[in-house]
Amino acid sequence: MSPEPTKTYQAKVFVTLKPSILDPQGRTVERALAHLGQQASGVRVGKLIELQLEGERGDVETRLQDMAVNVLSNPVMEDVRWELEEAPVQAVAGA
């Protein structure tokens, strides 16, 4: 009955502070690097959230967008983007 196969997908969600928001953690990393003689600027620390989703591709995409926008990020302060790919067969077999 299902038009699309149910598969396991590997998703990556990238959450970064909006450019206008100060990032004290990034400033701290920048200073730590400078103390070690490593010059870098504009250091920003964000999150990379990896997760697995099962279902039909279209449904999984919808659920991932909902999670990324409504749960995993704060739309007031953060930008979010995501990638979705089929999980390697090994991950399915090992589940």
Binding site for a second copy (CB under 8 A): 11, 14-16, 26, 29-30, 32-33, 36, 38-54, 63, 66-67, 71-72, 91, 95
**Cβ 29 to a second copy, closest distance in Å?**
7
**Between residues 51 and 61, which has the closer beta carbon with respect to a second copy?**
51
Q: Minimal distance in Å, beta carbon 3 to a second copy?
A: 21
CA angle 59/61/63 to nearest 5° reads: 70
Q: Is the distance from CB of 6 to CB of 59 less than 8 angstroms?
A: no
Closer by beta carbon to a second copy, 7 or else 45: 45
56 exposure class (CB count in 10 Å sphere: 0-12, 13-18, 19+): middle
- Minimum gap (Å) between residue 14 Cβ and a second copy: 6
Task: Give the C-alpha separation, 13 to 10, whole Å.
Answer: 10
